[in-house]
Amino acid sequence: MFPDNLKYTEDHEWVREEGGACTVGITAFAAEQLGDVTYVELPEVGAAFKKGDEAATVESVKAASDVYAPVAGHVIETNAELEARPELVNESPYDKGWFFKLDDFDPAQLRGLMNAAAYAKFVEEQGH
Amino acid sequence: MELIYDQSREGRRAITLDALDVPEAALPRDLLRTEAAGLPEVSELDVVRHFTRLSQLNFGIDSHFYPLGSCTMKYNPKIAEAVAALPGFAELHPHLSSDEALWAHCQGAFEVVYEVEELLAEIAGMKAVCLQPIAGAHGELAGTLLMAAYHRDKGHTHKKKIIIPDSAHGTNPASAAIAGFDIVEIPSTPDGAIDFDAYTAAMDDTVAGVMTTCPNTHGLFEPRILEIAALAHKHDALLYYDGANLNAIMGECRPGDLGFDVMHYNVHKTFATPHGMGGPGCGPVGVSERLVPYLPGPRVARREGRFVLETPPRSIGRMAPFFGNFMMAVRGYAYIRHLGNEGLKDVSRVAVLNANYIHARLKHAYTPAFAGRFMHECIFTAAAQAQKGARALDIAKALLDEGYHAPTVYFPLTVKESIMIEPTETESKETLDAFCDAMLRIATRIEEDPMAFRNSPTTMPVGRLDEVKAARDLNCVC
């Protein structure tokens, strides 16, 4: 149900490690709960986050939610395409709908996140 | 529907000017338009018919049942309009209050401000009230600024946090953040109450205040509110009462007696003044004794039988020009004085009774979001219907075709597929029954065909609107 190559947080972010950086987005489950996404506010490139800092905001017809930094790091790139096409978060949450990329992260923090099976169980236990 | 532009005919006019009897003068060239203004060319009768027709498309409390949860769309009695229309109020210029020499001309208006503040203070058990804030969230901002001023004065530089439950109105964290605080959100229990353990864990000496609504936005009275207040006070944190749901408890209990230090009132909800579509609101801020010196000013005071303006010694300053939306306060004054003590008690009792009547009639067709006894509004989850394909949104749209304003949907955020119904006290049993019958018809139809309402409404002047496009595509092009 959730891609095996990603790590997950209890706040429904996913993280993909590639080429020494972490790409961050929100899960298909989160996108479905939000409904049609209408606006995404992304961090500035160069911003430094601690794990759990508010890093982005995502708005839908139903609600506005914060997206948190799953691991500490520096923002090296953001997905500018979301500005014009926020619907990518719903249509392609793990690919074209990514939010931002972090470097200078701590691999131990990344290892501490849930794998796909644990996240699926977490979602199940939340009573959804 | 035909737009007024569609009716435009070249050369048609609504006005005829008298013959020119002064010398004609040319307008300066640089003031002339380079292209036409693009106004419709129509007759007076075209204009009258067009806008009368538009007004008939309005959906309002004077024409329909409007069970919009959390918003308290009760009937606004016409006596309040009659009082507000008295020339002594309606024709009073606000700047008369700006010059002490002219205060003799606004003693009546000052008296109303003074008396409304006194009445509101008595109703909620506050020491003093200031009418200035012009809406609920503006009252929240005033209240959080008062909390900041208090702690600043006491040298509490370590107090930076405000605790807010996840069931709060979205404006609570926004107001506290604008006032400079960090927000700590705490979860609700499955029963819909504040999670007391999480609250206890979040509470320490860095907490400046706690903002709660009671009954909360789940429509439930907070069962542990006294313990919540006691723990806040132990840490010298101030307790804020969001008055959005004060209409459920009038005459039964008072926020001040529960331990709340600061609050706002929604005069436009609780005390029946017209509202909707952004205003006009009236969100007075009330405080306990220790916050009185910080109230916004100037305030009306009574000195030797005369009403005068004074600014509290440590005032946070003005929150609005003059006395806020004064005419809303006049309407609220008429409402409170007309109903009196027993009348206000009846308002709350019947509001709670009506909500529970709807809950009792609908609870087998729609799943109540919480097991407890609701107060003035009841919340259902359409999660079961949504799984079949009929979302809360579809149910809301189906109700439009039944002749009802939709209830609040997707709020509170803590309830999936939320449907929040607040009937208010002003509706008859016949109206409530007709509404419940419609809700039950919709539930039955969903059982037969979950997709039945996917394109609702079908009998309104416009069909299903594209809410996503409306939110995403902000560049309106005519």
Residue B72 forms part of a structural domain = no
Mean pLDDT score across all residues of chain A: 93
Residues B116 and B196 grouped into a single domain: yes
Chain mean position to CA B270? 9
Residues B418 and B356 in one domain: yes
Would residue B151 count as lying in a domain? yes
Tell whether A123 lies on the interface with B, counting CB pairs under 8 A.
no
* Mean pLDDT in residue range B87-113: 95
Please check whether residue B280 lies inside any domain of the structure: yes
Q: Looking at residue A63, what is its pLDDT?
A: 82
Least CB–CB distance from A38: residue in B170, B416, B468: B468
Share of chain B above pLDDT 70, in %: 99
Mean of pLDDT values over B248-270: 97
CB-based contact B330:B84 (threshold 8 Å)? yes
Q: How far apart are CA B273 and CA B80, in angstroms?
A: 8
Residue B473 has a pLDDT of 78
Position A126 pLDDT exceeds 80: no
How many angstroms from the chain centroid is the CA of residue A20?
Answer: 17
Q: What is the mean pLDDT of residues A17-27?
A: 93
Domain ranges of chain A: 7-110
Nearest by CB: B413 against A39, A61, A63: A63
Residue B316 lies in a domain: yes
Q: What is the pLDDT confidence band of residue B477, given thresholds at 50, 70 and 90?
A: low
Q: B residues 367-426 near A, CB within 8 Å?
A: 410, 413, 416
Q: Are residues B329 and B359 both part of a single domain?
A: no
Same domain as B148, residue B297? yes
Look at residue B475 in the predicted model and tell me its pLDDT.
Answer: 72
Torsion of CA B424, B176, B173, B228, to 10 degrees: -70
**B396 — pLDDT class (breaks 50, 70, 90):** very high
Task: Say whether both B3 and B124 belong to one domain.
Answer: no
- Structure confidence by residue, pLDDT tens digits, B277-313: 767 899 999 999 999 999 999 999 999 999 999 999 9
Amino acid at position B37, single letter = A
Cβ <8 Å between B471 and A63:
no
Whether residue B255 sits in one domain with residue B355: no
Count CB-CB contacts under 10 A for residue B126: 27
Tokens 């007759």 locate to B43
The larger pLDDT score, comparing residue A127 to residue B409, is at: B409
Q: What is the pLDDT of residues B124-144, one digit of tens each?
A: 999 999 999 999 999 999 999
Chain B touched by A63 (CB under 8 Å): yes
Q: Are B328 and B384 contained in the same domain?
A: no
B177 touches chain A (CB under 8 A): no
Candidates A11, A62, A126, partner chain B, best to mutate (most B CBs within 10 A): A62
> pTM of the prediction?
0.88
Which range has the worst mean pLDDT, A23-27, B40-44, B253-257, B471-475? B471-475
Are residue B284 and residue B327 in the same domain, yes or no? yes
Grade residue B476 by pLDDT with cuts at 50, 70 and 90: low
With bands split at pLDDT 50, 70 and 90, how would you rate the model's confidence at B478? low
Pick the CATH number of A7-110 from 3.20.20.30, 3.20.20.210, 1.10.10.10, 2.40.50.100: 2.40.50.100
CB-CB neighbors (< 8 A) of B410 in chain A = 62-63
Mean pLDDT score, A18-25: 92
pLDDT tens for B57-73 read 888 899 999 999 999 99
**pLDDT at B98 (0 to 100):** 94
Which pLDDT does position B309 carry in this prediction? 97
Domain membership of residue B264 (yes or no) is: yes
What is the percentage of chain B residues whose pLDDT exceeds 90? 90
Question: According to the model, what pLDDT value does residue B137 have?
Answer: 95
Digit-coded pLDDT (tens) for B358-389: 999 999 999 999 998 999 999 999 999 999 99
Q: Is the pLDDT of residue B209 over 70?
A: yes
Total number of domains constituting chain B? 3
pLDDT digits (tens, 9 = 90+) for A29-72: 999 989 899 999 999 999 999 999 999 999 998 888 899 999 99
* Assigned domain for B66 exists: no
Q: Are residues B240 and B377 in the same domain?
A: no
Chain A residues close to B170, C-beta within 8 Å = 64
Q: Which of A21, A20, A19, A24 is nearest to A9 (CA)?
A: A24
Q: Are residues B246 and B393 in the same domain?
A: no
Cβ-proximal residues to B68 (8 Å cutoff; 6+ apart), any chain = B405, B406, B407, B408, B422
Of residues B407, B408, B412, B397, the one with CA closest to residue B442: B397
Q: How confident is the model at residue B413 (pLDDT cuts 50, 70, 90)?
A: confident
Q: What percent of chain A has pLDDT over 70?
A: 98
Chain centre to alpha carbon of residue B326: 16
Q: Are strands A73-78 and A100-103 parallel, antiparallel or unpaired?
A: antiparallel
Please indicate, yes or no, whether residues B11 and B41 belong to a single structural domain of this protein. Answer: yes
CATH number of domain containing B467: 3.90.1150.10
Tokens for B446, please give them.
Answer: 């969903």
Segment B322-348, tens digit of pLDDT: 999 999 999 999 999 999 999 999 999
Mean pLDDT on B88-114? 95
Q: Determine the structural domain holding residue B406 and report its residue range.
A: 348-472
Mean pLDDT value across chain B: 95
What's the whole-number mean pLDDT along residues A8-20? Answer: 93
Q: Which residues contact B294 (CB under 8 A, 6 or more apart)?
A: B146, B149, B150, B153, B287, B312, B314, B315, B316
